[in-house]
Amino acid sequence: MCPPTFFDVRYAINPWMHPEVPVDRERALAQWSALVAAYERAGHRVDRLDPVPGLPDMVFAANGATVVDGRTLLARFATRQRAAEAAAHRAWHERFGVLYGGLEGPRLAEPVAVNEAEGDFAVLSSVVLAGHGFRTSPDAHAELAALTGREVVGLELVDPRFYHLDVALAVLDADTDAVAYFPAAFSPASQAVLAERFPDAVVATAEDALAFGLNAVGDGRNVFLPPGAPHLRAELEVRGFVCVEIDTSELLLGGGSVKCCTQEIRPTPARATAAHEGDPR
């Protein structure tokens, strides 16, 4: 995670960004810090990525890399405004990837195709769901599959308000392939794929999705999400999840919430314990 030290809205690269609306950076930092604290109370470790002046969107760390079984596919951003963020993520993974890499050392792949990492890659135990249509290229799906050996299933996004997969679909429990999603964000063909593969999924409403309720992080027990998605919260609680609501209203001015702020590190099984016990910062 990267603190919003330099967070601002100076340009509009998604429908949620309005440069004429001022940003309260102190409030953004307080909200981000509350998310970090919630993760740590739940037993998760949070490593910090140093922010870089002039890169106001670095707080949205999910877009910098995808780590699966200790193998890392770096991002190649679709927009010139965020392109320089890739170098900071590369440097972090080059330095600390050994903590969670395979026994032969970390596997770090430079992308050829455009991908915005966990913005468009949702990692489950049996499959990686991969968004395309606005940011990530379908060619990047094959790159991640080749690097990780995982099945990667493409899903087409059709509503520009849901420009990344992680604002249209949430992983609730990667081990059991439990997900929640908003059908109208996807093409009819992709809706059919989701309905077939995830018949027990939580189906979110438009209210849930527009409140960024699906920009959530689930660990199998807890689901960390912003407020404003009452139907989604009720459905999650019926299924036994503990909902941890975090106000991210200031960060939403940049078009991101809980998941956008969170790059999840998935080590190889042999390194999982060591990576958890180590401290790179």
Q: What is the pLDDT of residues 57-67, one digit of tens each?
A: 999 999 999 99
Res 126: pLDDT: 86
Range of the domain at 121: 25-270
Q: What is the pLDDT of residues 173-182, one digit of tens each?
A: 999 999 999 9
The active-site residue, picked from 2, 89, 243, 260, is 260
First to last CA, the chain: 12
Write down the number of H helices and E strands in the chain.
7, 12
The answer to the question of residue 241 being in a domain is yes
Res 274: pLDDT: 46
Contact 231, 208 (CB under 8 A): yes
243 is known as an active-site residue:
no
The dihedral sign for the CA sequence 68, 75, 173, 197: negative
CATH number for the domain harbouring residue 135: 3.75.10.10
Q: Does the pLDDT at position 281 exceed 50?
A: no
**Mean pLDDT, residues 15-36 taken together:** 98
Q: Does the pLDDT at position 263 exceed 70?
A: yes
The answer to the question of residue 68 being in a domain is yes
Q: What is the pLDDT of residues 79-116, one digit of tens each?
A: 999 999 999 999 999 988 766 665 555 589 999 999 99
pLDDT band of residue 279 (cuts 50, 70, 90) is: very low
44 is known as an active-site residue:
no
The answer to the question of residue 3 being in a domain is no
Please tell me the least confidently modeled range out of 194-198, 206-210, 273-277.
273-277
User: What is the C-alpha to C-alpha distance for residues 204 and 17, in angstroms, rounded to an integer?
Assistant: 23
The answer to the question of residue 61 being in a domain is yes
Q: Does the pLDDT at position 165 exceed 80?
A: yes
Contact 217, 223 (CB under 8 A): yes
The answer to the question of residue 281 being in a domain is no
Instruction: Read off the pTM.
Output: 0.94
Contact 188, 142 (CB under 8 A): no
**Mean pLDDT, residues 126-135 taken together:** 97
Exposure string for 6-29, b = 16+ CB within 10 A, e = fewer: bbbbeeebbebbeeeeebeeeebb
Count how many domains the chain has: 1
The answer to the question of residue 40 being in a domain is yes
The active-site residue, picked from 89, 141, 164, 243, is 164
- Sequence length of the chain is 281
User: Other C-beta atoms within 10 Å of 34: how many?
Assistant: 13
The answer to the question of residue 187 being in a domain is yes
Q: What is the pLDDT of residues 218-241, one digit of tens each?
A: 999 999 999 999 999 999 999 999
The answer to the question of residue 8 being in a domain is no
